[in-house]
Amino acid sequence: MSTTTETASAFGLSGTTGWVVGGAVGGALGAAAFGLVLWLFDPVIVEAAIPSVYGLETEGVIGWGIHIAHGVLLGLIFGVLVTREAVLGVLRTDTETEALSGAGIVLRVVGAGFVFGLAVFAILPLLVLPVWTDVGGAGAQVGDFPTAAIESLLGHLVFGLVLGIVFALTVDLEGRTDARPLETGE
């Protein structure tokens, strides 16, 4: 039995595929949590509005499937960004602020997930979705999609937090070097 204390990021998935699994699983779970937030406010958003953006029928669980697929894709993007030299280096940097210097890599990745969720909210529903629906002609079908509503902001923040938590707990960020972040630190 070891007397050393291990953190989740010290024994998570390593190698060149760890970030893929962490990003995909974190994105799927984050999207499910986000979808639940939206569903609690208005079930029609997930069930009808999301499929209508793609011109699909609004029956069954199509909206949930699309929403989870979006989460997986965004989780993979998060995984790529967090394991890049510039971002990983910043997450590991010692700071002079007591509050941040005590925060380990796990807490910093969770914070990065929160910021990522906020960035996704600022870019996708506020900028991309209105243009997409106008150009694609789906504006009338989408109806009252809550692009700038509080439930959309709250959902994206929940998505980012869950993504950050799952990623931090499943991916070995301690064994990575800043020079080659997608490979093991051997």
* 76-106 confidence digits (pLDDT tens): 999 999 988 888 878 877 776 666 666 788 8
The answer to whether residues 160 and 115 touch, using CB atoms and an 8 Å cutoff, is yes
What residues are paired with 171 via a beta bridge? Answer: 13
Structural domain boundaries of the chain?
15-92+101-170
* 103-148 confidence digits (pLDDT tens): 788 888 999 999 999 999 988 877 777 776 667 655 545 555 555 6
Radius of gyration of the chain (CA): 18
**Farthest-apart Cα atoms in the chain, separation:** 63
The region, left, alpha or beta by phi > 0 then psi within -120 to 50, assigned to residue 67 is: alpha
Q: Is the pLDDT of residue 183 over 70?
A: no
Q: Is the pLDDT of residue 34 over 90?
A: yes
Handedness of CA 181, 164, 108, 8 (dihedral sign): negative
* 157-176 confidence digits (pLDDT tens): 999 999 999 999 998 877 65
**Where is pLDDT greater, at 12 or 33?**
33
Q: How far is CA 90 from CA 36, 154, 160, in A?
A: 32, 26, 18
Two tokens, residue 128: 């991309």
DSSP 10: G
pTM, full prediction? 0.78
The answer to whether residues 157 and 112 touch, using CB atoms and an 8 Å cutoff, is no
**Where is pLDDT greater, at 178 or 86?**
86
